[in-house]
Amino acid sequence: MTMTTDISFTSTSPKSKADILVLPAYEGVELGGLAESVTKENNGYIKTYLDDQKKFTGKVGQVFTIVAPQETLYRHYMIVGLGKKDDATVLRYEEAGGKVAAALKAIDVKSIVVEGRDIDHEIGVHIASGISLARYDFLKYKTGKKSDEKKPLSVKVLTDQVKKAKALSVDLEAMISGVKLARDLINEPPNMLYPESYAKIIKDELKPLGVKVTILDEKKLLKMKMGGVMAVGQASVNQPRVVVMEWNGAKKKSQKPLGFVGKGVTFDTGGISLKPGAGMDNMKMDMGGSAAVVGLMKSLALRNAQTNAVGVVGLVENMPDGTAYRPADIITSYAGKTVEVLNTDAEGRLVLMDAITHIQKEYDPELVIDLATLTGAIMVALGHEFTGAFVNKDEMWAQLEKASDVSGDKLWRMPLDEAYTKEMESQIADLKNLGSRYGGSCTAAAFLENFVDEGRAWAHLDIAGTAYINSAKPTTPKGGTGAGVRVLDSFVKQNYG
């Protein structure tokens, strides 16, 4: 559902016409490569414009567009700021690309050239990637003329290091494909994306890439006694599914897989503990954790990751009905532990507990990372900027933190503590699904920790605030963000291949 961006690389100056020449500039308007050549050929045309208007300083994301002389190969020159040279990062380059994409909306553009020579090859690659990420637009259900009917945008990057640039771009495009898939899934309306249809989409997307996909339907889940998944979904005409995705890319087939688990509540009314009507439409995004896992598996397959990975997503629809589970019910989890239900709107943890148990029992993964739009409390604490990360091993947190810094998916470590664990004990069952009013994201994580095998590395990422945004960012339009895909792809690449 996104406008196609065709990215290519060359070291040769263009000989054919293009709509835009993008010229990156550090703060202080330090131009290089083709920019110097162009300005000399036109008697200082670009420099004169910049000197006259004095507004473009090269700050990160700043864009200045100049109509090119008629005799040149271009219709416009677009100068984009990269910020201070000493402070520049790949994320800033992508932000610059996002700003370019925004500026392109005002111009009918089919082809652009990005000058990346005389600078590190990564700059041009990440500017192009930023353009690709920012051009995402979910228009599947728009009738009439759609902007996705436009011809693909050709982005040609000029670089002195074509081979390195192509190699980097392959991995980045794999990640971007995973992010865009996750965004698509989150943005789908709930009448189109429900457990059965969602499971089919996963199979259709991943099986052709070499990912083994196994779908467990409600009959199988009942037989397996997945009490949490079935309780949450029992009132819906759209019965639950659990989908298992396996990628076997390691050279040693005996290598333990990395385990990823996602909450997939395709629509959350709150059940009997009904949510307020205002804003309930946003609850189509309550499957954001599962979307991140599906997107990650696509990224791993596309870049042929040299590791084994398994993803498990629990897909349910939480509805109120005469058959719905109730506050005060006691359910038995797949692990055999009993849970007192205090609120049917604390449903995600009931789905995750069974999925976490399943991935450990069947695949014995080296580690487990679960993702979920789990609590409003994490949004109160961290807003829409950071994902809350609950991690039980310091070494694993160090790896995730590094991946966060590189990827731009911001993580903030939150506490796991015995006090939160004790708070989730029930008087009449093993556990209860709701703690007190305070520290809601911490007690939710403590609940999940009860289902993690002793000694196993585990992280819980609460993406309630980062999976969906109402205000666009430079490389992320309004709506589903794909949060989680990028940081986990970086985590896997940096540590496992």
- Residues annotated as catalytic (active site), given as ranges: 275, 349
CATH fold of the domain at 176-495: Aminopeptidase (3.40.630)
Would 5-159 and 176-495 be classified into the same CATH topology? no
Q: State the pLDDT at residue 36.
A: 59
H or E element that contains 132:
helix 121-134
CA proximity to 489, closest of 262, 256, 174, 255 = 174
Element (H, E) at 112: strand 111-115
Amino acid at 244: V
Domain ranges of the chain: 5-159, 176-495
What is the rounded distance in angstroms from the CA atom of residue 285 to the CA atom of residue 140?
Answer: 17
Answer yes or no: is pLDDT of 49 > 60: yes
DSSP code per residue over 185-250: HHHS-TTT--HHHHHHHHHHHHGGGT-EEEEE-HHHHHHHT-HHHHHHHTTSSS--EEEEEEEE--
pLDDT of amino acid 48:
74
- Whether residue 362 contacts residue 354, with contact meaning beta carbons closer than 8 Å, is answered with no
Residues 6+ apart with CB under 8 A from 345: 268, 270, 271, 273, 274, 275, 318
CA distance 314 to 266: 10
Question: Best-predicted range by mean pLDDT among 22-31, 65-74, 105-114, 473-482?
Answer: 473-482
What digits encode the pLDDT tens for the residues 103-121? 998 888 999 999 888 788 8
- Three-state secondary-structure class, residue 48: helix
Where does residue 383 fall: left (phi above 0), alpha (psi -120 to 50 degrees), or beta otherwise?
left
pLDDT 10s digits, 297-356:
999 999 999 999 999 999 999 999 999 999 999 999 999 999 999 999 999 999 999 999
> Residue 148's pLDDT is what?
45
Of the candidates 388, 401, 390, 407, which has an alpha carbon nearest to the alpha carbon of residue 463? 388
State the CATH class of domain 5-159: alpha beta
